[in-house]
Structure 1
Amino acid sequence: MDSITQAVLGAALQGTVLGRIQGRRSLLYGAALATLPDLDVIIRYADPVSQMTYHRGFSHSLFVLTGLAWLLAWLVNTRWPGKGYTLPRLFLAFWLVLVTHPLLDAFTVYGTQLFWPLQTTPLSWAAVFIIDPVYTLPLLAAVLYASCQGLTRRAMQLLTLALLFGAAYLGFGLAGRMAAEQRFQAALDQQGLVASEVRAVPIAFNSLVWRVLAKTPDGDYYEGISSGFDRRAPEMQRLPRNLELAKVLADQPLHARLRWFTDDWLRYDQIGDALVVTDLRMGIPGNYTFRFTMAHRDGQGRWRVDVPSMWQGAGPGSMFNGDDLVLIWRRIVDQQPPLPLAAWTDRYLGVSTAERGR
């Protein structure tokens, strides 16, 4: 999740475990330590596919962070032996602050390599959006109170309650995601439509309305919207993944890595002379966060593989259109009128209607 959320979570945890010894400093130390795993962003890679797929890698590994927690606990206990610390308590504090960072990241859709160096598919539990004020604000309020009042009994209670609320909210998100998938699967079954895989992902700062994707056996996919307040079947559209274009990249290691990282939730489009590969998991219909140019046609019409680059208009901020967000938030409680999925796809995807139907 975002850096502010990670920092206040770390502050709340270290304040809860070590606050009586370290006082207000525990909040600062916990906030700083909790952001440590994201320092991998300073590593610069040659292309955006590598940048995306190596982020949340070694620095988010439970194995690496557990070892780091032991090392830090030993160093602090050795350097300040008379401060009232015990090695197990120090380890517990540092371990909780460090490992909850990647665990919280795994509750988003991006993908987190918790078991690096094992090459398992990055975990993506997709229970919350990457920025969720409902999760963050109670933690922030509790940490600010403790910063002002000190680690009093009342402050410790507020920190504990904020942590418990956050854990419950993550559970609520998981339940909401599974319910959205079940509703979508039921809608497909009712229409006699076959899907080989269904997954819901959170959308736009909440865990109440979900974008749901379903792969078809013949290489297309359905994309729709579902809310826990729905009383009718979710709106959906069928779109091509254009898997025949993937053959152009069949022997390319970066393409293989992208398929692994996204669990193969990719679509392929020829836009002009460019081959654009889209990660379908993040964004709104048609307006996806990560899109990469990975090949082009030369003057003789032959495909030439390129060093990947971000497709124009793509990027983490590409989905934050105010007008679209208003429609999405309204959609939480009202299905009518349905969200303009086809219009968004035409507006954002960069592919003509004829090309979309190929």
Structure 2
Amino acid sequence: MTASAPRTTSSWMTPELESLRDQFGRFLDAELKPHAARWRRQRMIDRSAWTALGGMGALGAAIPEEWGGSGGDVYQEMVLLDTINRRCSDLANGYSVHSGIVTHYVLTYGTEDQKRRWLPKLCSGEWIGAIAMTEPGGGSDLQALTTRGRRDGDDYVIDGQKTFITNGIAADLVLVAVRIDGTPGAKGISLIGVEKGAPGFQPGRPLEKIGLHAADTAELFFDGARAPVDNLLGGIEGRGFYQMMEQLPRERLILAIGAVAAMEHAVEITRAYVHERKAFGKTLFDFQTISFRLAELATEAHIARVFVDDCLVKLAENRLDNVTASMAKWWCSERQVQTVDACLQMFGGYGYIEETEIARMYTDARIQKIYGGANEIMKLLIARSL
């Protein structure tokens, strides 16, 4: 077999980060990936996997040690995210929401009491986190949300429904976007932490998706659900919409990083396959149609990596704006879907067999163009800036 193809080296990569990537990759290969087929069958990641990730220091990598995290930086966090997308992608969706999004909401906006109560459990894997924005009739239009909350003594009483919620069934803490007292527009929206077992809160059925089969995705129902007033994120009503808007660049970059990792991995496994698979007395790679197409895909993956690396540096320096993050999200997710489709074609009939990795990558990729803000919304945001 030929030597491995060269891998793009990010400008911010250090020997320490390379070591972290290798160590974490070996951990995933040995401890978690062997269970992935069962997770897909049961439509749920084992809770033991979350505690294993917590014990490895892979949850809340950029959360300060005083709150139970590893005290690292955004580069360490994104190395872990990139590695999990390559080496054990069945974990990637739930992991991204829990560690990449929920913990950062709590760290950035939570009161001292909320950080003390929630972050250590989230970072250890004792608790699983989710964020509930999307509603059955709302889609990407967050200002139109109808889930209502009202103050009743020391509690908020919440009524409404959320859907497509990652980690929805397993979650011990859900940050729920709620409209307080019917106040219209962005100013009426707050985020309230609803904990598992809260009266009136009930996860619905797991949603049967065409991909991401290991990811727990659910509807959530709030029928007079009660959450303590102390669970209002940040302690000030009406800040929820602005909190969500401020976090969108990070969230969209997380999706772009996952897309690039998938593109690169698809090219890697396809390259290995076409060098070994023979037809008409030659390897598939010997056919110019195959080698040229693979060259195009490798080039596009390289371009995507350079773009995402630039965005990551901007995020680390607090310079990543929503327009640039929207560009990264839509372009990389579109290219991910196209790349995996082209790679599957090179596998022929084997690419259509569900047990093959490229087939799972194909069905898993499609949602990337929808969640985190549909790509049509990304283009609208970009167009408004022109």
Normalization by structure 1: what TM-score?
0.25
Larger of the two Rg values belongs to structure: 1
